[in-house]
Amino acid sequence: MFAVVDAASGQIIGMAGFVGPPIDNELEVVGSVVPQRQNQGYAGEVLPYLVNWRSRTQRSRP
C-alpha cells in the first residue's frame, strides 16, 4: 500500500495499492480517501502512478 499525500499540505489523505499479484495480466487496485477529500479526482491522479510503479518494478524481476 502507498500513502496518498496532498501535494499542497503534505497531509496523508488516503491509501492505495494492489490487492495481489497480477492474474491473467490484470491488476486489481484498491484504495480509499478520507471523506472530506472524496470526489475531488484523487483516484484518477493516483492510478497512473500505481501502474507506472508496477511496470517499472516488474521489469526488474527475473
Gap between the Cα atoms of 34 and 12, Å rounded: 9
- What local confidence, expressed as pLDDT, does residue 59 receive? 58
- What local confidence, expressed as pLDDT, does residue 26 receive? 86
Q: In 3D, which of 28, 5, 4 has the Cα closest to residue 18? A: 28
Specify which residues 17 forms β-bridges with. 30
Residue by residue, pLDDT tens for the chain (62 residues) are: 999 999 999 999 999 999 988 888 888 999 999 999 999 999 899 999 998 998 888 754 44
AA identity, residue 55: S
- What local confidence, expressed as pLDDT, does residue 37 receive? 93
Long-range interactions of 42-46: CB distance < 8 A, separation 24+: 42/4, 42/13, 42/14, 43/16, 46/2, 46/4, 46/16
